[in-house]
Structure 1
Amino acid sequence: MKSDLVDIAACRHAETESAIKISETGDASKAVWIPKSQCQIENDGHANFVTVTMPEWLAIEKGLV
């Protein structure tokens, strides 16, 4: 059975109560906003480096895959 979730290793540029702004490259000009209601955010102790788990359709829509 294929999962429709993807994990994205990303740099966190900004965060609000309802969304997180991330990029895969660390380039803020290429960062995109992801609604927190559509993802899970994990931080392994590095302030600005996170793993974001989200539906594959959302990652495609935002240009992350």
Structure 2
Amino acid sequence: MKSDLVEINVDLLVRGDRAVQVRDHNTGKTVWLPLSQIELTRADEDERGWVVDLPEWLAIEKELV
């Protein structure tokens, strides 16, 4: 079964009550993502880096994939 989740390495720029602004490590693209749709965790290898798991449809909509 194909997973509909995408994992992206990001820098956390702004954290609001309902959304976060992140910068994609690969593309440099900056986007806002709703906290209700994502899971945000610290990356193990880099204290500043974060990993965001989000639905594939949202990654496509935000042009992250």
Which category of TM-score, normalised to the shorter sequence, fits these structures? 0.7 to 0.9
2:12 paired with 1:16: no
Task: Normalising by structure 1, report the TM-score.
Answer: 0.83
Query: Identity of aligned pairs, percent?
Result: 40
* Distance in 2 separating the partners of 1:19 and 1:38: 9
* Distance in 1 separating the partners of 2:59 and 2:13: 17
Q: Over aligned residues, Cα RMSD in angstroms?
A: 1.7
Match of 1:6 in 2: 6
Give, in angstroms, the shift of residue 44 of structure 1: 3.5
Gaps of 5+ in 2: none
What do the CA deviations read for 1:23-62 (whole angstroms, capped 9, x no partner)? 11485xx41100000000001462x421000000000100
* Distance in 1 separating the partners of 2:2 and 2:43: 26
SS at match of 1:2: coil
Match of 2:36 in 1: 37
Task: Normalising by structure 2, report the TM-score.
Answer: 0.83
Match of 1:53 in 2: 53
- Number of residue pairs the alignment of both structures matches: 62
Identify, as 1 or 2, the structure richer in helix. 1
Which aligned segments of 4 or more residues in structure 1 are displaced greater than 6 angstroms?
none
Gaps of 5+ in 1: none
